[in-house]
Amino acid sequence: MRYNVPPETAGYFASLGIAGDLCGPYYEAGVSVEETVAYLNSGFTADRIMPYVRAGVPGNDVMAYLDAGAPYDRAKPYIDANKPAAAAAPYAASTFPADRCMPFVDAGIGITKARPFLLFDIPSDQAVVYIANGVTASVARPYVDAGVPAEQAVEDIKNNIPPGK
């Protein structure tokens, strides 16, 4: 594809050893020369980067999502909800639904702590309470199954009261 890159800009990229066809999509999208060079040096292809650029995602956020392995369609719910990319990127890279992960992002809980609760299918709002109180997913699961609210379950666990008693 042929891009309309002005000769002086194309010349600058050529002086860096970058072909015009590589910088063209970024130039036409209004990306700065410096940011274009950073994208080209990132190792990611334009087809991975450009959906983020077209959506107006800042460069550092683009790289956070791409470095985590999150394709744009998985990152979009977090971007639309204005979640910090550094916190949201690992969730966007996972296969867990964004609506299940948002409470963890909001609470500042990393995916490593959240993953067992997501795998045990513990409601996220309850999982946040359990995590905040140092309760593991395997300990929480019987209380969830018994219908014990998370706040009460935390107290029951502290007092060695089994679920449903």
Please spell the DSSP secondary structure of 60-74, one letter per residue.
Answer: HHHHHHHHHT--HHH
Residue numbers of the domain that contains 118? 94-165
pLDDT score at 75: 98
Whether residue 71 lies inside any domain: the answer is no
Q: Kindly provide the residue ranges of all beta strands, DSSP E only, lying in the chain, ordered along the sequence.
A: none
Give the chain's domain count: 1
Whether residue 73 lies inside any domain: the answer is no
Whether residue 148 lies inside any domain: the answer is yes
CB-based contact 30:20 (threshold 8 Å): no
Whether residue 77 lies inside any domain: the answer is no
Torsion sign across C-alpha atoms 13, 19, 23, 24: positive
What predicted TM-score, i.e. pTM, was given to this entire model? 0.86
Whether residue 70 lies inside any domain: the answer is no
Write the secondary structure of 23-41 as one string of H (helix), E (strand) and C (coil): HHHHHHCCCCHHHHHHHHH
Report the chain (165 residues): mean pLDDT per 10 consecutive residues.
79 84 86 90 92 94 97 98 98 98 98 98 98 98 97 97 88
Whether residue 99 lies inside any domain: the answer is yes
